Structure 1
Amino acid sequence: MQALAKSLDFIIDTTSGDHPFDPYMSLLKTGGVLIFLGAPSEMKQSPLSLLMGMRSISGSATGGTKDKQELLDFCAANKIYPEVEIIPIQYANEALERLIKKDVKYWFVIDIENSLK
């Protein structure tokens, strides 16, 4: 993280689970923006991480199919890939329990093709 300090113009945060924000704020350049597309239940943020470097936080709870497709196209064109945990369908109930316990670091992706073999 230190090697990337003050190197990003923006960060798109799609995580809905509670997580610390200050480490990510330190990655933003002066005037950088942390953009929330997920909805954490609470936000603990040091005011200094905003004030030092004129950083800001923004967000949106909207977006339809067209917006999502534009985001996916942008990510593909710029080689931005999500971090995922691939699980078999048989693990779906355990995955839901982990979501409830907030024990999830990545998006769950159910591998249907290999689950049905």
Structure 2
Amino acid sequence: MGVQIAKAMGHHVTVISSSDRKREEALEHLGADAFLVSSDEAEMRGAAQESLDYILDTIPAVHSLEPYLSLLKVDGKLLLVGAPESLQFDPVSVILGRKTIAGSYIGSMEETQQLLEFWAEKGLTSMTEVVKMDYVNTAMERMERNDVRYRFVLDVAGSNLQE
């Protein structure tokens, strides 16, 4: 959703992923302008250093921020929404580059309303997979395997529920 919102706002968007698996989806379906594989050290080194204004970090696991911080321009911002248990970074890279690390779980009601209005105005849609209640255990297993693109929607009303 972040890619779609940033594109709708007119930004140049680079998706960074740990594998090449999401490249086609990011470029062709979400509209990203560029794609980097973070696990490919040569590709990350070859990326234009200090070229990004913002990075939206959605990684929920412990990871080093160094490869990402090096991509930020002076005064760039790394925004955390993935909530890892801990982070690893060299404070000097933040201080010397006047970089900011910030985070948020959720916006205010007013911000959420503004985002929904923007989403509707731009005709954006989210990628969802609608499932019935009898599929919920399989859905949970798929979530644990990271086999969901991008959200499950549980159709309670359309499910055959018995009391």
TM-score normalised by L of structure 2:
0.45
Cα distance in 2, alignment partners of residues 68 and 18 from structure 1: 26
Shift of the alpha carbon at 1:6? 1.1
* Closer/same/farther in 2, CA of residues 93 and 38 from structure 1, 3 Å limit: same
Q: Which has the higher contact order (CA 8 A, sep 6+)?
A: 1
Q: Deviations over 1:9-40 (max 9, x none)?
A: 22233x26115322221221011111123322
Distance 1:9 1:105 in 2: 30
Aligned match of 1:39: 83
Q: 5 Å matches for 1:83-98?
A: 87=129, 89=131, 92-97=136-141
Residue of structure 2 in register with 1:9 after alignment: 53
In the alignment, does 2:101 pair up with 1:57? Answer: yes
Can you list the C-alpha shifts for 1:52-101, whole angstroms capped at 9, x where unaligned?
A: 42212012234234313434628x86x9x98x6x546276534423544x
Q: Which runs of 5+ in 1 are unaligned?
A: none
Structure 2 equivalent of residue 108 of structure 1: 150
Unaligned runs of 5+ in 2: 1-35, 37-45, 159-163
Q: Letter of the aligned partner of 1:108 in structure 2?
A: Y
The code of the aligned residue for 2:105 comes to A
Q: Give the secondary structure class of the aligned counterpart of 2:86.
A: coil
Q: Are 1:12 and 1:37, in contact at CA under 8 Å, matched by a contact in 2?
A: yes
| Percent identical residues | 31
CA RMSD of aligned residues (A): 3.7
Is residue 66 of structure 2 the alignment partner of residue 66 of structure 1?
no
Aligned length: 106
